[in-house]
Amino acid sequence: MKKKKSSGIPLGVPTLTQKDFMSDQDVRWCPGCGDYSILAQTRRIMPELGIPQENIVFISGIGCSSRFPYYMNTYGFHTIHGRAPTIASGLKMANPDLSVWVITGDGDALSIGGNHFIHLLRRNFDINVLLFNNQIYGLTKGQYSPTSEQGKSTKSSPFGSLESPFNPISLALAAGATFVARSLDRDPEHLRSIIKFAFEHKGTSFIEIYQNCNIFNDGAFFQYTEKETKADNTVFLEHGEPLVFGKEDEKGIKLNNFQPEVTTETNDTDELIVHDQYAENTTLANFLARMSDMPEMPHPIGIFRSVQQNCYEDMMTDQIAFAKQQRGEGNLEELLNAGDTWVVE
Amino acid sequence: MRKQVEQIQAATVLFAGDSGDGSQTIGTQMTETSAIVGNDVATLPDYPAEIKAPAGSLAGVSGFQLHFSSETIHTPGDSCDVLVAMNPAALKVNIHKLKDNGILIVNSDNFARKNLRLAGYADNPLEDDTLTKYQVFPVELTTLTRRALEDTDLELSKRDLCKNFFALGMILWLYNRPMDYTIRWVKTKFSTKNPHLIEPNILALRAGNTYCEATEQFAISYEVKPAEFTPGKYRNIAGNTSTVLGLVAASHQSGLQLVYGSYPITPASDILHGLANYRNFGIVTMQMEDEIAAVGVAIGAAFSGSLGVTGSSGPGLALKSEAINLAMIAELPLVVCNIQRAGPSTGMPTKTEQADLLQMFYGRNGESPVPILAACRPTDCFDTVYEACRIAVKYRTPVIFLSELYIALGAEPWLIPNVEDLPKIEPNFQTDVDGFEPYLRDPDTLARPWAKPGTPGLEHRIGGLEKSDITGNVSYDAENHEKMVNIRAEKVKRIATEIPTTEIYGAQEGDLLVLGWGGTFGVIRTVVETKLEEGCAIGHVHLRYLNPFPSDLGEVLKRFKQVLIPELNTGHLRQLVRSEYLIDAIGVNKVQGQPFHVYELESKISKYL
């Protein structure tokens, strides 16, 4: 795994613990909500990132997940619905030394904020986006979301929803995201490792987290998260490794006429698809992303794509430095007196 | 034979043609030269929304009106002394603006049947008696320009594009103006990308000038002596440029990096274009995916401790309103520029209006007090937007800066300010950890601390949910909510304690007070000056601060028997003044996408004197 640190973030603050990241506010999610685990893993991994609290900022929009910043003892901004990426972009641009985290949900990022979400990804600010996908609107008490399955019966769709869902991974890849991953609220260790990789990636890092809403959409992801079914319904992506899954890794995924197919002949690894998360070309990542639309295929979990591209804030900083070098540091007196002037005695 | 030169006090020239004919370019050049030779100038560009409407059509007519004078002037003039019409459509659209016996110069090459039909003329107006009350000068502008460029390498189709400079050469001759400034401009303009266009344009300019000198058609030229100005160094400046410089100055003087988020929109885009040039001042411009993102990045920048600014026009402001409210409750400095245009909805994007005032006051959910300042003329954009930045930073609040198309695109001479005379803007960031609370306020201004991320020990969370007093934690407490609503209102009200008291021009009390705001300044001042000369007890107050109003405004209004409020809307300020001060103010209102004419306002005002 490539490890590149964000430039400018002061490192090497060794003494923090997860307790340092707990704010004085009571956490107010429903008991049993998947958000608790994501909060706990984030707090646990923060000390390992080696950045002081004051250089970390959590920005959220609106929704259950967006209460998150209140619970972190860092800087935080609970903004307005769908707009967290814009505020995070301005913040990161104005101070590239900060470690900026966007906390969002499926409604916040993909419905009301869909436009900002895709543009954030293509600009590639060095920002980390954690999308809590519970496939439902929780805070407004149970309407279908842009990731809900078609036909879903909810308060606002008593006869079933008519809309086909977004695949957040495909959407992110199509928008040119440089780091795209998926993790699970109920797999703490994996989630922590993915959060850490996201932090280490220089550029916009996008993590879709399958998150259980035990009130309005309980069990939506249980086939991918629970012990009995997880192994057969998920495939964990490891760079350079063949795609194998099942309790004994007894199943593999191969290509048949450009279609994925499950095979039990896992010894012949030449036949199996080998994961390459660093591929510049998005063909494999797109292919893996679309696998989760196929009921007979396991859902990929892990890092789909991780490539290096220039970050907006660095390019802007370079432009400013270049302009100063070419024209000299801005002189207000000269600027006001520029152009054709005349003197009245 | 030496031709006769007549001294005149002032003149108004209107250049009109197809939107591709370059009327805006030569109008701007004539303005620059007139300003440099010492006249006072005022301009009114009037152009269509279409980049290029069908050639020769009435919809495609683009005009640029310039008023220059040896006296102080405030408006681009009601009617014109000279109309340059490049085709029949330009003639048809503008002929009513030409004074009787005014000079009409037409490109007679363009008066063939097709163009006449496009303009809706059954017969050629140059050949019948429709234009007898004017001095008509038909000039074969296209033919003469082609002839002047015969020896150049420029291809034929491109030669015709130089005919606007032929026309400019004529007007420069007509008013005894030097060609030097225009020649210098042409050289600079085309030097890098199109050096082959330098010579042809200069040749066309000189040919137009020589043509007037040589032909017997033009017997008289005119001279407008320099106006009297306050001593100092001047430049000619348009409102949007003045806004750009005001923002750069505020950033420079406060030591805060300027982050300008915007989405292109007429007539605010010039501010984005202007600021994008000043990377060497550390200025960040971000062209965002939409209006909401544009204000979002400015708010993010403000949270980080930068000077966050966004700019747009009315439709964009509608989209930004939720985010402005966020900045309001989060109590972050933010400057929002609204360069108004004619609404509602998309309205008339290239026409002027002042109909966003109530939107700025009330266009947000909940109790949302936001300071509002309006510039009154092109040069005033600099001072007003600078002041908006100062208030935003000092009071930790979004501030709305209002300009409008008429002054944003209009230009006039600007007495260049001394940098050291600019007011101080002090960010006063919180660094002290002891006793820090996110919503613990300055007892005088009620401003909360600006604690930027990266400052050790000041980690805190803010957001759009109601805040608990002092701590800023989320609160649904009934009493607290009311208290916070009142505090936020009081904070804005207190700005009135430090802004200048009302300045009355003319009579300090008496029969009639004309109260205005924004770009109506020039026309109101012109009429009030006339009425004062006639001995009327009339005063003029022009408001820069619309929220809060100056603390003495109510008392000032009561010194006059009547208060008249001219506005380019159906009575926004009138509603505000009536409800605030319970006085029966009278409105003079116009919503035609055009500024008031002096005669219009004068006839209205005369009724009350």
Residue pLDDT, tens place only, B425-444: 999 999 999 999 999 999 99
pLDDT computed for residue A7 by the predictor: 47
Give the residue from B204, B230, B318, B319 showing the smallest Cα distance to B38: B230
Domains recognised in chain B with CATH numbers: 4-224 (3.40.920.10), 235-421 (3.40.50.970), 505-606 (3.40.50.920)
Please say if the pLDDT value at position A61 is more than 80: yes
Give the residue from B594, B591, B577, B592 showing the smallest Cα distance to B514: B577
Q: What is the mean pLDDT of chain B?
A: 96
How many other C-beta atoms can be found within 10 angstroms of the C-beta atom of residue B171?
Answer: 25
Q: What is the DSSP letter of A109?
A: I
Q: List phi, psi (to 5°) of B222.
A: -125, 155
Domain residues for the domain of A74 are 18-240+275-324
Span B2-39, pLDDT tens digits: 689 999 999 999 999 998 899 999 999 999 999 999 99
CA atoms of B261 and B336, how far apart (whole Å) = 10
CA atoms of B530 and B534, how far apart (whole Å) = 6
> The domain spanning residue A317 has which CATH number?
3.40.50.970
B282 to chain A: which residues are within 8 Å by CB?
Answer: 320, 324, 330
Counting every residue, how long is chain A?
A: 345
Between strands A179-184 and A127-133, the pairing is unpaired
CB contact under 8 A, B297 and A90: yes
Give the residue from B358, B529, B339, B335 showing the smallest Cα distance to B425: B335
Cβ–Cβ pairs < 8 A, chains A and B: 206
Please say if the pLDDT value at position B547 is more than 70: yes
CB hemisphere CA count around B488 (13 angstroms) = 26
B115-133 mean pLDDT: 94
A77 to chain B: which residues are within 8 Å by CB?
Answer: 300, 303, 330, 461-463
Return the amino acid letter for A231: A
A122 in any annotated domain: yes
Instruction: Using CA coordinates, name the residue in chain A closest to B332.
Output: A77
pLDDT computed for residue A2 by the predictor: 39
Percentage, residues of chain A above pLDDT 90: 92
pTM: 0.94
Give yes or no for B88 touching A (CB within 8 A): no
Q: Are A176 and A122 in contact (CB under 8 A)?
A: yes
B32 to chain A: which residues are within 8 Å by CB?
Answer: 340
Q: What is the DSSP letter of B442?
A: P
Q: From the CA of B93, how many Å to the nearest CA of chain A?
A: 33
Give the residue from A69, A110, A76 showing the smallest Cα distance to A91: A76
Give the residue from A96, A58, A98 showing the smallest Cα distance to A79: A58
Give the residue from A72, A174, A156 showing the smallest Cα distance to A117: A174
CB hemisphere CA count around B1 (13 angstroms) = 9
Instruction: Using CA coordinates, name the residue in chain B closest to A51.
Output: B454
CA atoms of B573 and B122, how far apart (whole Å) = 46
Write out the two tokens for B28. 């701007």
pLDDT computed for residue A10 by the predictor: 54
Instruction: Using CA coordinates, name the residue in chain A closest to B256.
Output: A94
Helices marked H in B149-260: 156-159, 163-174, 180-190, 198-214, 239-254
A331 in any annotated domain: no
B417 to chain A: which residues are within 8 Å by CB?
Answer: 336
pLDDT tier, B1 (very low <50, low <70, confident <90, very high otherwise) = low
Helices marked H in B344-454: 357-362, 380-395, 405-409
CA atoms of B198 and B181, how far apart (whole Å) = 14
A330 to chain B: which residues are within 8 Å by CB?
Answer: 248, 252, 278, 280-283
CB contact under 8 A, A116 and B292: yes
CB-nearest partner of B323 from A83, A320, A344: A83
A207 in any annotated domain: yes
Q: From the CA of B317, how many Å to the nearest CA of chain A?
A: 16
Counting every residue, how long is chain B?
A: 609
- Total domains in chain A come to 1
A277-283 mean pLDDT: 96
Write out the two tokens for A209. 């987290």
Provide ipTM, 2 decimals.
Answer: 0.95
pLDDT computed for residue B49 by the predictor: 75
CB contact under 8 A, B284 and A345: no
pLDDT computed for residue B157 by the predictor: 84
Please say if the pLDDT value at position A324 is more than 50: yes
CB contact under 8 A, A23 and B280: no
B261 to chain A: which residues are within 8 Å by CB?
Answer: 86, 90
Give the residue from A333, A319, A253 showing the smallest Cα distance to A290: A253
CB contact under 8 A, B281 and A25: no
Span B491-505, pLDDT tens digits: 999 999 999 999 999
Q: Are B10 and B68 in contact (CB under 8 A)?
A: yes
Cα-to-chain-centroid distance, residue B66: 15
CB contact under 8 A, A330 and B35: no
Chosen for mutation from B459, B460, B474 (greatest number of chain A CBs closer than 10 Å) is B459
CB contact under 8 A, A91 and B304: yes
CB contact under 8 A, A89 and B465: no
A223-232 mean pLDDT: 97
pLDDT computed for residue A6 by the predictor: 46
A228 in any annotated domain: yes
Put simply, the chain B residues between 142 and 201 with a CB less than 8 A from any chain A CB are: 181
Span B143-177, pLDDT tens digits: 999 999 999 989 888 899 999 999 999 999 999 99
A344 in any annotated domain: no
Instruction: Using CA coordinates, name the residue in chain A closest to B417.
Output: A336
Span B268-315, pLDDT tens digits: 999 999 999 999 999 999 999 999 999 999 999 999 999 999 999 999
CA atoms of A234 and A301, how far apart (whole Å) = 7
Q: What is the mean pLDDT of chain A?
A: 94
pLDDT tier, B47 (very low <50, low <70, confident <90, very high otherwise) = confident
Q: From the CA of A41, how many Å to the nearest CA of chain B?
A: 20
Span A106-132, pLDDT tens digits: 999 999 999 999 999 999 999 999 999
Q: Are B165 and B147 in contact (CB under 8 A)?
A: no
pLDDT computed for residue A1 by the predictor: 38
CA atoms of B563 and B502, how far apart (whole Å) = 15
CA atoms of B539 and B542, how far apart (whole Å) = 10
CA atoms of B558 and B532, how far apart (whole Å) = 20
Percentage, residues of chain B above pLDDT 70: 100
A250 in any annotated domain: no
pLDDT tier, A210 (very low <50, low <70, confident <90, very high otherwise) = very high
Put simply, the chain B residues between 446 and 475 with a CB less than 8 A from any chain A CB are: 452-465, 473-474
A2 in any annotated domain: no
CA atoms of A218 and A331, how far apart (whole Å) = 61
CB-nearest partner of A342 from B234, B280, B293: B234
Span B383-429, pLDDT tens digits: 999 999 999 999 999 999 999 999 999 999 999 999 999 999 999 99
Instruction: Using CA coordinates, name the residue in chain A closest to B419.
Output: A333
Three-class SS state of A252: strand
Percentage, residues of chain B above pLDDT 90: 94
B298 to chain A: which residues are within 8 Å by CB?
Answer: 90
pLDDT computed for residue B508 by the predictor: 98
Give yes or no for B231 touching A (CB within 8 A): yes
CB-nearest partner of A340 from B235, B292, B456: B235
Q: Identify the bridge partners of residue B485 per DSSP, sorted by sequence position.
A: none
User: How many helices (H) and strands (E) are present in chain B, helices listed first?
Assistant: 20, 23
Alpha carbon distances (Å) from B528 to B71, B410, B516, B523, B570: 16, 21, 12, 9, 22
A5 in any annotated domain: no
A64 to chain B: which residues are within 8 Å by CB?
Answer: none
